[in-house]
Amino acid sequence: MTDFLGPPPRPIRLTPRPALVLTVASLLGLAMFCWPLFTHPQPTAAAHTIDAPFVFMATLPVLILVVLAELSRGGIDAKALALLGVLSAVNAGLRPLGAGTGGIELVFFLLVLAGRVFGPGFGFVLGSTSLFTSALLTAGVGPWLPFQMLASSLIGLGAGLLPRTPRGKAEIALLVAYGVFAAYFFGLLMSLWSWPFLAGTSGDLGFVPGAPLPENLHRFAVYTVLTSTLGWDTGRAVTNAVAIVLLGPAVLAVLRRAARRAAFGAPVTFDRGQL
């Protein structure tokens, strides 16, 4: 029945300027993940702690710019901020249930569904706040955290950009396919940033500074397939697919009902007789 009402309102409606900022920031973020292919890092994990804070500082201003830009245009209100806090808390609570054991991670399926319902801007912000909150809860703060936040934000952003017309089984199939893609995408990015420090700069899987790009890409492909894709990423993909199939229809209905009842962006009025 809700399908006949049209798509629910989105808490963060991206106008051209913040949309441009978000696009540029996403492209720069992807470039930061690909740094091993274009730089000559030191083969020590400690060296990466130097540039990780810079990624963190590059991520947070993006979130602030999105929120402030939309606040200045009346595109986000207290209801949207409250919803963001609730979903971030739920995701933070879900993450320790799997704790990444065998790739079982429950944080991403809700991120995909929320990004689907509430749009790319909300999905981007929720991706970062969810991973940041869960890291505080599980003591998972480290040089990898800003990269996890950015990768999750890109997943939430992509979920919000999926075609809006599919409904019913077609929509669930679309979200399952995206959930599987997101699982491998997250693992690929996280492997890429840490590859030179975990594999070193020697051997068949190591990063070779100054080597031709195709050679390093081949080394990385073999490395990520053996260390991440066949294990953790596949477990994450299966978890996402099963969770979306079993819980997706109900969660989507709840989120859409909440979006319509919240009436994001509608002016708040008071009855003088109630004051």
Q: What tokens appear for 259 in the block?
A: 């979006």
With b for 16 or more beta-carbon neighbours within 10 A and e for fewer, the 131-144 pattern comes to: bbbbbeeeebeebb
Position 90, amino acid: V
Instruction: Match 């060296």 to its residue by tokens.
Output: 47
Q: Residues 11, 124: contact at Cβ < 8 Å?
A: no
Backbone torsion region of residue 243, taken as left when φ is above 0, otherwise alpha when ψ lies between -120 and 50, otherwise beta: alpha
Write the CB contacts of 82 (distance below 8 Å, at least 6 apart in sequence): none
pTM > 0.95: yes or no = no
Q: Return the domain boundaries, the chain.
A: 8-44+52-264
pLDDT tens digit sequence for 35-92: 767 665 554 444 444 455 455 556 656 665 665 565 456 556 677 788 888 999 898 8
Please list the alpha-helical segments (H only) found in the chain: 16-33, 45-72, 78-98, 107-118, 120-138, 145-160, 169-199, 213-224, 234-262
Among 19-23, 54-58, 261-265, where is mean pLDDT lowest?
Answer: 54-58
Instruction: Considering the domain delimited by 8-44+52-264, tell me its CATH architecture.
Output: Orthogonal Bundle (1.10)
Q: What tokens appear for 195 in the block?
A: 């590859």
Axis crossing angle, helix 16-33 with helix 120-138, rounded to the nearest 10? 50
pLDDT-based confidence at residue 218 (cuts at 50, 70, 90): confident
DSSP letter at 161 equals: T
